[in-house]
Amino acid sequence: MKIFIDSADVDAIKEAADTGLVDGVTTNPTYIAKSGKNFKKVVEEICKIVPGPVSAEAMAETADGMIKEAVEIASIAPNVVVKIPMNIEGLKAVPVLEKQKNVKTNVTMIFSSTQAFLAMKAGASLVSIVLSRLDAIANESIVLVEDAVTIKQNYGYRSEVLAASMKTQNHVLECLRAGVDIVTIPTQLFFQMYRHTLTDTGLEAFRKDWEKVSGGGKPQS
To the query of whether residue 83 is one of the catalytic residues in this protein, the response is yes
Residues 57 and 108: beta-carbon distance below 8 Å: yes
What angle in degrees, to the nearest 10, is found between the helix axes of 10-17 and 39-49? 10
Tell me the H-state helices in 156-196: 169-178, 187-192
List the catalytic residue out of 34, 40, 41, 83: 83
* Cβ atoms < 10 Å from Cβ of 168: 14
Residues 125 and 104: beta-carbon distance below 8 Å: yes
* Cβ atoms < 10 Å from Cβ of 120: 21
Angstrom CA distances, 54 to 47, 73, 82, stand at 6, 11, 8
Find the length of the chain.
Answer: 221
Query: What is the rounded distance in angstroms from the CA atom of residue 6 to the CA atom of residue 164?
Result: 8
Contacts of 19 (CB under 8 A, 6+ apart): none
Which helix (H) or strand (E) element contains residue 72?
A: helix 63-74
**Which residue numbers are catalytic?**
83
